[in-house]
Chain A
Amino acid sequence: MIAEFGLAALWLAAALAGLQLVAGSLALTARGKDLAGIVRPVAVVQGVLALIAFAALIVLFCQTDLSVKLVAMNSHSAKPLIYKLSGAWGNHEGSMLLWVTVMGLAGGFVALVERRLPEQTMLATLAGQAFVSLGFYAFLLISSNPFERLNPPAPEGQGLNPLLQDIGLAFHPPTLYLGYVGLSVAFSFAIGALVTREVGPAFARAMRPWVLGAWIFLTIGITAGSYWAYYELGWGGWWFWDPVENASLMPWLAATALLHSVSVLAARNALRAWTVMLGVVAFSMSMVGTFLVRSGILTSVHAFAVDPERGTFILALLAINIGGALTLFGLRAATVTEGERFSVVSREGALVFNNVMLSAILGIVLFGTLYPLLAEVMGAKVSVGPPYFNPVSAIFAVPMLLVLAVGPLLRWRRDSLARIRWSMAVPAALVVLSAAGLAIRAQLHILPFIGLALAGGLAVASVLPLKGRNLARVPLAVWGMVAAHLGVAVALFGMASESAFSVERLVAVRIGETSEVGPWRVTLGGIEPVAGPNWTALQANMAASYRGGAPVEIHPQARSFWAPPQQTSESSLLTRWNGQLYAVIGDQAEDGRWQLRLWWKPFVTLIWFGGLLIALGGFLALLGRVASDLRRHIARGKIADRRMEQGR
């Protein structure tokens, strides 16, 4: 019953998307003007219906309704409830349903609260959103129905991949999708603006909070995914430039550039074509990403369902949506005049530089990810990984970081470096001192060296905009900028430190023996079997002491699941302010000794704290913008009331 109910809600939502598209498009013409009134309510109801369908799927998973094919293939009655719930989106169909739900809800939310756009642009935006949604509804209903029944029902489910039976699955996909798919709003705004040729500061101010919101979630999603891979996969790696990881990074790069571009457009009415282009590119990257992950054309540790037929369907959607948007851009952008001028040394100049660098990195990541496919077409196999991506993206990232230090201090329109030279003295001195100190005391590779040398100076430079201001009266948006840029410096420090100073020890020990890694002494106390709800494991009881301090107990496990049969390694992490001890228990050798893998990773947690700080900065900026908008709205309301009273 619930499955049919969910399917019905999904069909209804798709039908309403169709209505939204037709009504929205017709309302733009002179003859269809009367239809304008229904577009917003239809968008809201569509979102609610999609949410109902998604809720139905969640209920089916929580009940482990084995007569539904998706549940039978991906769930198991012995799974803990949290994984039953998050397992709903841990598969292709469920995550596609999450996709259309977020699209519908985002569109509905825009329809409900966005009042600043001219009505025509709003209608075009909602029509654009409906157009894209319709394609994905069709994909779901025709080729990836999550509510398909299994007759007769399965006696037991096949279980969820043990690597996914982790709290990370509860966080990573939902936040990632809120970000990914939230960018569809920016896409629709860009379409709306191109159709009605309304690209100006008002448009930018309206679009900015939506871009910010999606970007915040995307940042959190990527950070969560990185941390999850770090502790789950058992080797301490946090980023591998894997095709699926790149698929989430590319929209983020575009969205970051869009964020900054929108600010310029809102404040100075410049960078119009850039902003619209980036709005289209950001969500296009989301769609390209979902295509790459689900079509099976690239080998990846993370890849979803490998199905060329589904891949072709998504490719068709891509061709229509992205091809259509880019064609519209080609036709209309020429008539979007460029806007105000500015000098090289100005905040706009710095932001243009930032945009160009981010776009270049985006291009490199896209090309590098697709290159193995290109090589295969030409008959050979190549591998493109961290040894390529790290240095090549650094070529563009390092200049960008240097400008990041200077940009926020520059004035709009025209400024001179001489004016800020004393402010820049402190960060510059810090960079030089760090570089000198590192060169003398440590033997580092070039990239970690640059990262460590820059990080301190960058951190100081990011708080410089606050200098000399009354802190109580600094707008929230500025606090947001400071926090986000500081987050970049913090993350950079964490990345460089992990790369430069990590210590690894692989040892084979007997029970009672002690090994050393960095400043830690780790003793293997014993090995005991333990059992969980759907797994059994060999747990190592170890005591770790830092520089001779009190020992702390850690319990890494080697787990065996039986549905599906798979072994995972549950690492044990001990976090201090200055780094993490990472411990993994391996197999027992024939002589009775146990394989231990130990790492001491100084300041590695700063990578993810930096990421969260960036997201916090975005949140503060969003709060600031929304608050100031509300204040303006209330003030206008008060003025209108007063006028009415005076008129009486």
Chain B
Amino acid sequence: MNAPSPRPRGWTLWLPLALFGGFVVLVLFGLFRPAGREVASAMIGKPLPAFELRAAVPDRPGLSSRDFRAGTGAGKPRLLNIFASWCIPCAVEAPQLEQLRAAGVEINGIAIRDRQEDVAAFLARNGNPFARIGADDLSAVQLGIGSSGVPETFVIDGKGVIRYQHIGEIRPDQVPLILEKLKEAKR
């Protein structure tokens, strides 16, 4: 008759419980400190990729990467707003963009996958705070700067480097934050 084998060592018996404990801790983090669903751009701190977009509407010039470095405003931080006429939160943030423009901020826009008439109608409805608007029909520039949705607003400093990304619409209480980030980008 075979003798019974040596009993399983103590620690192996408690291992499953320990692993379960780890699982519970991890999951509690997930429940109470949920990360958002947005995907942040990894291009913060890197220069804008070179691009050239045609004008989205007749009464504003098109947009290129040079416009963020050129002209008398060289050294001046600007906002790059990614929007679309079919995007509802973009209409919601229109007053805040107008507020920023009135505060002297230069806002350049990129319209994603939009027809000229739709963009014009959107601007007529919600106001036009943009100095220039480029038409990005294939989301090429959007992909190039690491944006994954609309609306998003980027702070670009005077050297053409991306300094800050704001995902989603700019709410009224977030306007001071944007102004703060613009000031930081001067340095």
* Chain A interface residues toward B at CB < 8 A: 273, 277, 280-281, 284, 288, 291, 295-299, 308, 311-312, 315, 318-319, 322-323, 326-327, 329-330, 333-334, 337-341, 370, 373-374, 376-377, 381
Task: Name B's interface SS.
Answer: helix
Q: How far is the CA of A284 from the CA of B17 in the complex (A)?
A: 12
By a CB distance below 8 angstroms, the chain A residues around B27 are 291, 295, 297, 315, 373
Q: Is the CB of A334 within 8 A of B7?
A: yes
Residues of A within 8 A of B20 (CB): 284, 322-323, 326
B31 touches A297 (CB 8 A): yes
Given A273-B8, A315-B31, A377:B26 Cβ within 8 A: yes
Could you tell me if A330 and B7 are in contact, using CB atoms closer than 8 angstroms?
A: no
The dominant DSSP class at the A interface is helix
Contact in complex: B8, A326 (CB < 8 Å): no
CB-CB under 8 A from A281, the residues of chain B are 16
Please give me the residue from chain B that is nearest to A291 by CB atom: B27
Q: A273-B8, A297-B34, A308-B31 are in contact. Are A334 and B24 (CB under 8 A)?
A: no
Q: CB within 8 A of A334: which of B4, B10, B16?
A: B10
Contacts of B5 in A (CB 8 A): 338-339, 341
Verify A334–B30 contact, CB threshold 8 A. no
* A377 partner residues in chain B, CB cutoff 8 A: 26, 29-30, 33
CB pair A376–B37 under 8 Å, yes or no, is no
Complex: chain B residue closest to A339, CB-CB: B4
Residue contacts A-B, CB under 8 angstroms, 28 given: A273-B8, A273-B13, A295-B31, A297-B30, A312-B31, A315-B27, A315-B31, A318-B24, A319-B24, A322-B20, A323-B17, A326-B17, A329-B13, A329-B16, A329-B17, A330-B14, A334-B10, A334-B13, A337-B7, A338-B6, A339-B4, A339-B5, A341-B5, A376-B30, A377-B26, A377-B29, A377-B30, A377-B33
Contact of B37 among A280, A288, A299, A333 (CB under 8 A): A299
- In the complex, chain A residues whose CB is within 8 Å of the CB of B24: 315, 318-319, 323
Complex Cα spacing A329 to B6, Å: 17
Known contacts A315-B31, A377-B33; decide if A370 and B26 are in contact (CB<8 Å): yes
> Which B146-166 residues have C-beta < 8 A from chain A?
none
Chain A, residue nearest B37 (CB): A299
Q: A297-B34, A323-B20, A376-B35 are contacts. A330–B13 as well, Cβ < 8 Å?
A: yes
Task: Pick the 6 closest A-B CB pairs, nearest first.
Answer: A297-B30, A326-B17, A376-B35, A338-B5, A337-B4, A377-B29
Also in contact, A338 and B7, with CB within 8 A (given A315-B27, A327-B17, A377-B26): yes
Q: Are B2 and A340 in contact (CB under 8 A)?
A: yes
Q: What residue in chain A is nearest B6 (Cβ atoms)?
A: A338
Chain B residue with Cβ nearest A318: B24
Does A315 lie within 8 Å of B13, measured CB to CB? no
- Shortest CB-to-CB span from B96 to chain A, Å, is 27
Report if B39 contacts A (CB, 8 A).
yes
Contact with A along B28-62 (1 / 0, CB 8 A): 11111111010100000000000000000000000
Given the known A-B contacts A338-B8, A373-B27, are A333 and B33 also in contact in the complex, defined by CB atoms under 8 Å? no
> How many Å lie between the Cα of A319 and that of B22 in the bound state?
11
Are A333 and B2 within 8 A (Cβ)? no
**Contact A370/B4 with A308-B31, A311-B31 known, Cβ cut-off 8 Å:** no
> Would A374 and B8 count as touching, CB distance under 8 A?
no
B26 touches A334 (CB 8 A): no
A370 CB, nearest partner CB in chain B, Å: 6
Q: Which residues of B contact A288 (CB under 8 A)?
A: 23
Bound CA span A94–B37, Å: 28
Question: Which chain B residue lies CB-closest to A312?
Answer: B31
Q: Which of B6, B26, B31, B35 contacts A381 (CB 8 A)?
A: B35
Of the candidates B5, B6, B21, the one having the most CB atoms from chain A within 10 angstroms of its own CB is B5
How far does the Cβ of B146 sit from chain A's closest Cβ, in whole Å?
13
With contacts A327-B17, A333-B13, A373-B30 known, what are 9 further pairs, Cβ within 8 A?
Answer: A281-B16, A284-B20, A315-B24, A329-B16, A330-B13, A334-B10, A338-B6, A373-B26, A377-B29
The minimal Cβ–Cβ distance linking B44 to chain A, given in whole angstroms, is: 14
The minimal Cβ–Cβ distance linking B39 to chain A, given in whole angstroms, is 7
Contacts of A327 in B (CB 8 A): 17
Task: Give chain A nearest CB distance to B22 CB in angstroms.
Answer: 10
CB distance from B125 to the nearest CB of A (A): 23
Which of chain A's residues has its CB closest to B3's CB? A341
Tell me which residues across on chain B come within 8 A of A284, comparing CB atoms: 20
The chain A residue sitting closest to B9, CB to CB, is A334
B29 nearest CB across to chain A (Å) = 5
CB of B34 to closest CB in A, whole Å: 7
Nearest Cβ in chain B — how far from A275, in angstroms?
A: 13
Q: Which residues of B contact A333 (CB under 8 A)?
A: 8, 13
CB distance from A317 to the nearest CB of B (A): 12
Choice from A273, A330, A370 contacting B17 with Cβ under 8 Å: A330
By a CB distance below 8 angstroms, the chain B residues around A297 are: 27, 30-31, 34
A296 contact set on B, CB distance < 8 A: 34
Expressed in whole angstroms, the Cα–Cα distance for A291 and B6 within the complex equals: 37
Question: What is the minimal beta-carbon distance from B76 to any residue of chain A, in angstroms?
Answer: 32
Q: Once the chains are docked, how many angstroms separate the CA of A339 from the CA of B37?
A: 51
Q: Report yes or no: B16 in contact with A374, Cβ–Cβ below 8 A.
A: no
Q: Point out which of A318, A337, A377 has the most chain B C-beta atoms below 10 A from its C-beta.
A: A377
Rounded to whole Å, the gap between the CB of B21 and the closest CB of chain A is 8
What is the CA–CA distance of A50 and B145 in the complex, to the nearest angstrom? 56
Chain A contacts for B2, CB-based, 8 A = 340-341
- Which of B4, B17, B28, B34 lies in contact with A315, CB distance below 8 A? B28
- What's the Cα separation between A329 and B35 when bound, in Å? 35
From B10, B26, B34, A308 is in contact (CB under 8 Å) with B34
| A274 and chain B: residue at smallest CB distance | B8
Query: With a CB–CB cut-off of 8 A, which chain A residues contact B29?
Result: 373, 377
Q: Which residues of B lie under 8 Å from residue A330 when comparing CB positions? A: 13-14, 17
Residue in A291, A318, A326 whose CB lies within 8 Å of B16? A326
Q: Which residues does chain A contribute within 8 Å of B4, judged by CB atoms?
A: 337-339
CA distance A381 to B35 in the complex (A): 9
Q: How far apart are A91's CB and chain B's nearest CB, in angstroms? A: 21
Q: A311: nearest residue on chain B (CB-CB)? A: B31
Report the nearest A residue to B2, measured CB to CB: A341
Please measure, in the bound complex, the distance between the C-alpha atom of A312 and the C-alpha atom of B27, giving whole angstroms: 9
